[in-house]
Structures are given as structure tokens and as C-alpha cells.
Structure 1
Amino acid sequence: MRKTLKSVAMLAIILLLQNCTSDDRDIIIETPPPSGDYANGIFVLNEGGYTYSNASVSFIDNSGQVYNNIFYAVNGRGLGDVAQSMAFHRDKAYVLVNNSNTIEVVNRYTFESISTIEQDILNPRFMTFDGDKGYITNWGDPADTTDDYVAILNTETNIVINTISVSEGPEEILNNNGTLYVAHKGGWGYGNTISVLNASSETVISNIQVSDVPGNMMIYNNDLYVLCAGKGDYTGDETVAGVHKINLATNHVTDQIIFADGVHPGYFQIDNNSLLFTLNRDVFKVNLNDFTLPEAPFFSTNAQNVGVLYGFKISNGNIYVADAKDYVSNGTVLVYDLQGQFQENYNVKLIPNGFYSNN
């Protein structure tokens, strides 16, 4: 689960997950894996139920065929407990499994297991690459605010060769020509900074102040855009959300959008000079040239009865939305065109949270 929820909210979700049916928890192969490889399609990462070790990966090929539980189908074993994110490097895919404290390395085209990384991995979140090295954000012990770090992986040996200590709750990480940007969402606490790391010297060189709870980041036209959700009302210390535009040459915030009180966006993507962000079940569009909030949604997922909008991605001319339903039922992937018109939906597994194109 997204562990920035405070203890009351987390307990409620865990109690829901403990009521999963056996069908939801079991690993079942409905469709055999394809005879070819897993190219020309999109992977869907299914988080799975917390503590149930039923995380999985689905694959939707370009013809619309869905293959669920492909890691199990190919390798004959489960993926682990809470699939957090996935990253590609050359012919490898890295699947970060948060609560298992592992990273599964597979061939991105066959999904055959290459290695399981466990050493110096503790609560892994996201990953990026520079040359032959991978950089992995780790929360460490979430109850300890001082042990968070970025692990440096040798991608030839799949061995962690160094770690960089960072502030609490490192989340998404991006590489811009050897300069790494880390969003500090805050782990079990709440962060409001972006760490700037030098990949060559393996050091933190500066920090950028943003709004509370920075999550999604994207680089577009030499600027870094950061979506900050703000603290929710359940924290007892609610703060405003924002989108920050950071010049990558100076690492200074050059523009920002501030949301109204009580408004907390979820995810965002940038495509064709437009920034699309989610708010509850709606999707809004911001023109990057004027960088102001729209008055009305671009489109809504209400007509498709989305329960929990839990993942969002623009890829290959389509908008993908992950519906986690009620967190205890198998999820759905909904596809919209770039005009916001609904196209189709696919049945995947428990708590889909991300999309990764393999075209």
C-alpha cells in the first residue's frame, strides 16, 4: 500500500485486505503465456494484498489479449509481497517488491528470471539508471527517519555496490544526464523536498523545496515537473497541493500551480504540451503554456464505474487508468483515447498500480 497513509487509514486498508476471498489471494493462470515473447504490449503491475505475497504482473499485447500472472507462469513461483514499481534497462526488467525487500530481475522479453536482489535492499520504491548502474530508492525501516537511502546497483552483476544516505521517504527517482532527482514523499511521515544527486560522485549536491508530499515527477522540455499531493485532512494538519516547474539548468522553481484547500490530486502525465492530472475519478488537463488550473474536467471515469483510480499512464497514443476497485477484488484496466473517449477495459489482478510499455 502507499505507506504515506497514517496509522488509522493503514489499519483500515489492512483490515479490508484481510477479508480477501481465497480466489483473490490464489495465483491462478487463466491464459497460458504466449509462445513468443512479451514484446509489443504493455505490462500492468498488480500490487497484490499487503502480507499475502500475491503480487503479480499482467501483460496486454497490442491485439488486446491479456495474460495474467506471467511471472508465475514463466518461472513457477510467486513474485512476492507488494509489487511497487518496475523499471527497464536494456534487455532486463526490474520489479521492485516492497514488502518482500527484493528486486526480481527478469528478461523483459521472455520474463524468465535472471536474479533476485536481496542484499542491501530494504523497502525498495523506484529505480532509474545511468550507464551500467541502477539507482534504487529505499525507505529502510519506515519507523526510523534517518536510515533512508539510494542503493547503487551494478547492472552487470546485479550486486549493490554502494548506498547514498538521503532524507526520509525517497520515492520516485529520475535521471537527467547524470543528475538524479529524488522526490521525498516522506515514508510514514511527510516530506517536501527534491534531493539532487550527482551519479558520478554518488553524493547529494542540493535540495529543492516544494509543497508537501511530492510524488510523481516528469521531465519535459528541460524542465522537471513535480506533483505534490499535500497532506490530507485525515492527518489533522491538512496542507495545499501543488504542481512545481523546476528549471533543470538552475534547479530553481520557476512556476507553480497551487490547488484550492481540500483538493488533493493523485497522479499526472505530460503529453503534447499538456499536463493531465487525476482528482478522485476525474482527469483534468493543464496547458503548459499558461500553466493554470482548468475549471472543468477533461473527462471523467464515472461512467465506467471506477472504484479507486490507482494508476495513470499515457502510452502509445492511449490513456491507461488502473481501477483498484475496493482493494479486495481483482482490478481493471481502462483505456481512453487522447480526447478522453473510453475505448475498452481489461480484467487484471489485485490492485493494479502501474503501466510499463514494452514496444
Structure 2
Amino acid sequence: MAGCRKEIPMIRSEAEYVTSPTSPERIEGFFLVNEGNMGSNKCTIDHFNARTGGYQRNIYPERNPDVVKELGDVGNDIAIHKDRLYVVVNCSNLVEVMDVHTAEHIGSISIPNCRYIVFEGDRAYVSSYAGPVQIDPEARPGKVVEIDTESLTIKREVVVGYQPEEMVITGGRLYVANSGGYRFPNYDRTVSVVDLESLEVVNTIDVAINLHRMELDRHGRIYVSSRGDYYGTGSDIYVIDTATEKVIGNLGIAASEMCIDDDRLYTISTEWSYTSSSNEVSYAVYDTAEQRIVSHNFITDGTEKEISLPYGLAVNPETKEIFVCDATNYVTPGYLYCFTPEGKLKWKVRTGDIPAHIAFSSEPYYY
């Protein structure tokens, strides 16, 4: 008996031009990670080139034809640090590290049920549920893993709250939003404060149930979103003063995603309610300097009616263009909408499945 195996065909990226070429001073473009539905192994990366106006879908397989299963299952975060691109792949339990200029594989770090990544100096910090992907009233506390970005090795770990999500770093301390999502209905409601020198929890701040997103303004305030319980307790954004490490208020704004640019906190909400079996959608802006809501809808031309399921959000720090990801129905390709700073649609493009997270790059990407 004899047999042979054919060569595995290379998956080619797809490119299209979505807008006119520009001459950026700082931001050359961005990478977008498409999560892919859980269990589908369809996490992909797209790239937008500001100089050419070109959008390229699914760049990873073409640059890494020898990587089995490509990026993996559920891309949960993306970030750029120095000359490297990092993607946190949740259900594949790894952080993929690439060259930011080429998207070629450099290495990966194995971390169970990893969620989000932040950086300080030559260290990366990754939040981890630290257990299997499943609802479990007895689910163990999560952890934050410290990685040496030069050697891509794990240096230390610290146990935090239950099912930790996004993080911010300021004043030598790491603030971690704990959700407790696996322990429904007994959600966590705390922010763990970790001293980076000792990598020990030095404080725990009681905030609200089911915490998720985190943003830091330039006035020393942290904004942390609560997803509520999807029944009687709604979503909101709470404010923590880092000087006192106490909650000093809430915004009265629901948020499933948020980002800060200068003194503007942009939020989108797709707030699901099991009571009404529907989503309540909003697009709000909060002025962090004046501490007031300045808009309940940053889309001003009616285009929000085209967006089925707003899922990701980003603002270009140079052009102030606003990007909204539409996950459509979670199982087919989504769309990325680019709005002017005034909230008018500039262009839109098809993405991969569940477009979610954007990292702006000051480095050129070589096609």
C-alpha cells in the first residue's frame, strides 16, 4: 500500500481600497482582530494602511503558512509594544507574538483562558481566568501573569479576583477589573490593586457586579464598566480616584465597549436584557475634564440604523476618526465603519467574523 499527501494550499489575504491615500504624521494604520465564534477556530487579523487607503483581510495565514490552526479560537485582545504585535487568543490559551512590520510569528506564551494584555517597561501583564471555559459556581479565582517581553517567558503570577478582565497601569500599580462571570449569579464586584514591584495585591476596591472594561484618563481617574446581571441590574460606568483608590461616582451610561481619546470617553452599548429579550443600543461620549455627558449619539448622519450589533470601538489618536465594529449575527463576516470626528460615515468595509479589537500602529506594515 502506498499513498501521498498533496501540498496544503496557502490561504491568501484579500485586499480592497476603501478610502483615498493620506500622508499620516504618526499613525500608519491599524490591525484589527476578528474574534471568530467560539469553537470555530476562526480568529483572524486584518490590516488597514492609511498611506494607501487599502484594507487587507486575514493577513496571518499568508505570512505564517507553517503555523498549524493559524491564530486559533477566539481572539480576545490585540496590542502593540515596541516592534511586536500581540494577540490574546482566549480559548486557545495562548498569547501570539508577531513582528509588527510583517505579522510573522515570533513566539507564543501558553496561558490558560487568557483575556487581556497591558504593558509596563519590558513586562507584559495578561489577565487569566486560570481555569476551563465553563460556567461553574465554584470556579477558582483568576490571576495576572507577568511576561518578559524580550524572552517571552513567564516571570511571576499573582492571584486576583474571579474571572479578571481588562486592566490599567498607573503609579506603579496594576488595576484589574474582576467579573466573576463564571460564578453567575454570584458575580465578583471588585477591582484588585497589584503593586508591580512586589506583584502582590495591596488593595481591593468594591465597585459593582460583573466588571469588564477599564480606561484611565489623564486626571488620575479610572473608568470601569459594570455589565450588570442582564435582568434587573443594568450596565453602568463607575469612576475610581487613583489617589484615594475609592469609587467617587458613576456616569449613568451603559457600556459594552469604551475607549478614551484626549478628554473624551467614547462608549457603545449593546445591553442585552433577558427580561425584554432584546438589546438596547447607545453611542455616548463623556467629557472627562468637564465631567459631563456631551452626546448620547456620536453618529450624526443616521448610519447607526445600518449597524446590526455594535461590538468594537476605537478612535484614531491622530485623525480623531471613530471606528465601530459591527458583529452582525456573530457567525458571518462583520463590518467596520469609519466615521469622521463629526460622526458622519466616511467608509465601511467587510471584515472577518466578529470584528472586535483595534491596535493603531506608528510602524509601517510591509505587504
Query: Structure 1 length normalisation: TM-score?
Result: 0.82
Cα distance between partner residues in 2 of 1:174 and 1:303? 30
Partner of 1:43: 31
Contact map agreement 1:211 1:240 (CA 8 A) in 2: no
CA displacement at 1:150 relative to structure 2:
0.8
The alignment status of 1:29 with 2:17, answered yes or no, reads: no
The partner residue of 2:44 within 29, 32, 56 is 56
- 2:287 aligned partner: 287
Task: Figure out how many residues of one structure are paired with residues of the other and give that number.
Answer: 318
What's the offset of the Cα at 1:124? 0.4
Deviations 1:32-57 (A, max 9, x none): 9xxxxxx8111111001211211110
Q: How does 1:292-303 map to 2 (within 5 A)?
A: 292-293=292-293, 296-299=296-299, 302-303=303-304
Q: Does 1:277 align with 2:275?
A: no
1:336 alignment counterpart: 339
Distance of 2:197 and 2:248 partners within structure 1: 27
Structure 1 equivalent of residue 82 of structure 2: 90
The CA distance in 2 between the partners of 1:148 and 1:245, in whole Å, is: 23
Matched, 1:134 2:149: no
Query: Where does structure 2 lack aligned partners over 5 or more consecutive residues?
Result: 1-9, 17-26, 271-280, 363-367
- Are the equivalent residues in 2 in contact too, given 1:240–1:258 (CA < 8 A)? no
186-195 or 172-181, larger mean C-alpha shift: 186-195
Q: Which has the larger radius of gyration?
A: 2
Query: How big is each residue's C-alpha offset from its partner over 1:215-253, in whole Å with a ceiling of 9 and x where there is no partner?
Result: 2211112211112221212xxxx3133222222222122
* Distance in 2 of aligned mates of 1:232 and 1:156: 42
Does 2:71 match 1:73? no
Question: How much has 1:294 moved relative to structure 2?
Answer: 6.3
Contact 2:282 2:296 in 1 (8 A): no
Q: CA deviation at 1:282?
A: 3.2
Q: Check 1:294–1:41 CA distance in 2 against 1; reply closer, same or farther (3 A cut).
A: closer
Percent identical pairs in the alignment equals 26
Query: What's the secondary structure of 2:63's corresponding residue?
Result: helix
Task: Report the Cα offset of residue 290 of structure 1.
Answer: 5.1
Alpha-carbon distance in 2 for matches of 1:95, 1:178: 24
Aligned partner (choices 204, 208, 220) of residue 205 of structure 2: 208
Q: Quote the Cα distance in structure 2 between the aligned partners of 1:352 and 1:152.
A: 27
Contact 2:285 2:295 in 1 (8 A): no
Corresponding residue for residue 322 of structure 2: 319
Q: Are residues 28 and 307 of structure 1, via their aligned partners in 2, closer, same or farther at CA, if it must alter by over 3 Å?
A: farther
**Structure 1 contact 53–82 (Cα < 8 Å) conserved:** yes
Shift of 1:27: 5.6
1:54, 1:125 → 2: CA distance? 17
8 Å contact from structure 2 (residues 34, 353) kept in 1? yes
* Structure 1 contact 140–148 (Cα < 8 Å) conserved: yes
Show the 5 A alignment for 1:123-272: 123-141=113-131, 142=133, 143=136, 144-189=138-183, 190-221=187-218, 222-233=220-231, 238-258=232-252, 264-272=254-262
Pairwise CA distance, 1:287: 3.0
Aligned mate of 1:350, from 349, 353, 357: 353
Give the TM-score taking structure 2 as reference length: 0.81
- Aligned amino acid, residue 138 of structure 1: S
- Structure 1: how far apart are the matches of 2:295 and 2:127? 36
- The DSSP-based 3-state class of the residue aligned with 1:44 is strand
- AA of the residue aligned to 1:45: V
Going from structure 1 to structure 2, the CA distance change for 1:343 and 1:54 (only over 3 Å counts) comes to same
Q: Which runs of 5+ in 1 are unaligned?
A: 1-25, 33-38
Higher helix share: 1
Kept in 2: contact 1:265–1:279 (CA 8 A): yes
